[in-house]
Structure 1
Amino acid sequence: MRIALSQISSTTDPAENLDLVRDGVRRAAADGARVVLFPEATQCRFGVSLKPIAEPLDGPWATAVRAIAVEHGVVVVAGMFTPTADGRVTNTLLVTGADVHLGYDKIHLFDAFGFQESSTVAPGAKPVTIEVDGLTLGIATCYDIRFPELFRALADQGASAVLLGASWGAGPGKVEQWELLVRARALDCTSWVLACGQADPGVDLGSAPTGVGHSTVADPLGNVVGSLGAQPDLLVVEIDAEAVESARRTLPVLANRRL
């Protein structure tokens, strides 16, 4: 299966960001991608009030993304925000195409490095997997990558690959941590990990995590098979289930667990 990582830099205008999705999907589909992964916060970047932006999964923004996916015969995974009853929002990865339209609500909220995501965002509670052309894919978001138990749970649910959208916070050593964590999580669950981040916006937008780029794909043995720099770009990779089966025979960490 060919999967594209569309590394973009979202604005605060969901309509402008929808154009970025449209362009990214068009380019990815032309390169043979079956799934197109966009970053967390594709609908609207962090650093502004998210409550006025939030829409349900059957709202106009998600519906438009679905139409784009259907037009090009792909599955699109893209970050958005959905409303909650308590006045906060959920940080949701929309997963949409002809046969699927659902959301994964980010479980682990980024209350770290001076940022308090939980003040405006409610946590999700349920890991999510989908099946595309017979391949099971897990879904994760940004700070989730620091929690290996989620990736093992997704593997236990049959995931051969985990698609992760992120808007990684900048700072000393943060790019190095990002690359290390992508590779480590692949090894933890002996699955492909495809991590698409927001590009570096190139300007100081305050303390909000608005992206550093460096989208990365690691194979089930933790080898980097593709990566991008800091700027907006597109990466298309080929993944296969046989690599997962081979890795799990060679390195049976899931089978050897005692806890």
Structure 2
Amino acid sequence: MKVAMGQFAVAREWQKNAHTCIELMQQAQQAGAALLVLPEAVLATDIQDPGLAVREAQPLDGPFLTQLLAASRESTLTTILTLYVPDGSQRAINAQVALRGGEIIARYDKLHLYDAFAMQESQRVTAGLAVPPLLEVGEMKVGMMTCYDIRFPELARRLALDGADVLVLPSAWVRGPLKEMHWDVLVTARALENTCYVIAVGECGPRNIGSSLIVDPLGVAIARAAESPALVFAELDAQRVKSARERLPVLANRRFSRPELDA
């Protein structure tokens, strides 16, 4: 299955970001990709104005997503991204959505909010309450995670036990001491310990690292972007997952129960 990572720097204006997303969708479709993963919070951002992303939040039937859904209507491409949507108060939800054929086919609200490294996502954002769904793309099952979720192995393990062959991770990974190393180690670990592919796509730009990468079920990085905008393709192989799980049956050999979400 051919997949694509669309890495870019999110602008302040949602109209510009919608145009960028649609361009990447069209390029991925023309290249024959079945799945395109975009970064986290692609609607709007400004590092000089931390509250902008929440103030600019739009509902799922707002103009930003309406344009992307229209662009997906005649396509079999599945596009995954996150955006902030209003929660009915002065806050927002970091919602990950999967688009295909003009419809939202799956949604996941980010469980783990980024209250770390002197940042406080929970000041403006409401955490999700449910384990992400799985969706089918081609012959593979895809589990949804978002950015900071990668630091919590329970979620990746739960999705793998639910049947995921691939984990997607739209992200906006902030630069900082050791942060690039953390990114590589965590993405690789989640792939290897669950014998699944991980597609981790980072926003690039002045604050975030970019560095999107795909790691296979045995911990091999098979595709990678640098620090600038890029559209990177890779081939995923369901047989590679099957073979890895036969050779390294960590899911079958585990001694702990399936992780459950706290109420």
| TM-score range for the pair, normalised by the shorter chain length | over 0.9
Q: Which moved more, 1:27-36 or 1:47-56?
A: 47-56
TM-score (norm 2): 0.91
Give the corresponding residue for 2:126: 122
Residue 6 of structure 1 contacts residue 24 of structure 1 at CA under 8 Å; is this kept in 2? yes
Residue 90 of structure 1 contacts residue 106 of structure 1 at CA under 8 Å; is this kept in 2? yes
**Alignment CA distance shift 1:224-1:94 (3 Å):** same
Give the corresponding residue for 2:160: 155
- Are positions 1:219 and 2:245 aligned together? no
Q: What is the deviation of 1:44?
A: 1.4
SS at match of 1:255: helix
Q: Deviations over 1:38-81 (max 9, x none)?
A: 00011112633333321222222112111222244311111211
Q: What is the deviation of 1:6?
A: 0.3
Residue 57 of structure 1 contacts residue 103 of structure 1 at CA under 8 Å; is this kept in 2? no
- Please give the root-mean-square deviation of Cα atoms over the aligned residues, in Å: 1.4
Structure 1: runs of 5 or more not aligned: 203-209
Given candidates 137, 142, 152, the residue that maps to 1:137 is 142
- Are positions 1:91 and 2:99 aligned together? no
Residue 148 of structure 1 contacts residue 188 of structure 1 at CA under 8 Å; is this kept in 2? no
- Are positions 1:245 and 2:249 aligned together? no
Given candidates 102, 107, 110, the residue that maps to 1:106 is 110
Q: Which moved more, 1:162-171 or 1:83-92?
A: 83-92
Percent identical pairs in the alignment equals: 37
SS at match of 1:175: helix
Q: What code does the residue aligned with 2:101 have?
A: A
Q: What code does the residue aligned with 2:25 have?
A: V
| Count of aligned residue pairs for this structure pair | 251
SS at match of 2:252: coil
Q: What is the deviation of 1:99?
A: 7.2
Q: Deviations over 1:153-205 (max 9, x none)?
A: 11112110011100001101111110111100001211000000001x13xxx
Give the corresponding residue for 2:63: 60
Q: What is the deviation of 1:100?
A: 4.8
Structure 2: runs of 5 or more not aligned: 257-263
Separation in 2 of the partners of 1:159 and 1:225? 19
- Are positions 1:19 and 2:16 aligned together? no
Q: Mapping of 1:229-240 within 5 angstroms? A: 229-240=226-237
Give the corresponding residue for 2:193: 188
Q: Which moved more, 1:174-183 or 1:41-50?
A: 41-50
SS at match of 1:212: coil
Q: What code does the residue aligned with 1:88 have?
A: R
SS at match of 2:53: coil
TM-score (norm 1): 0.92
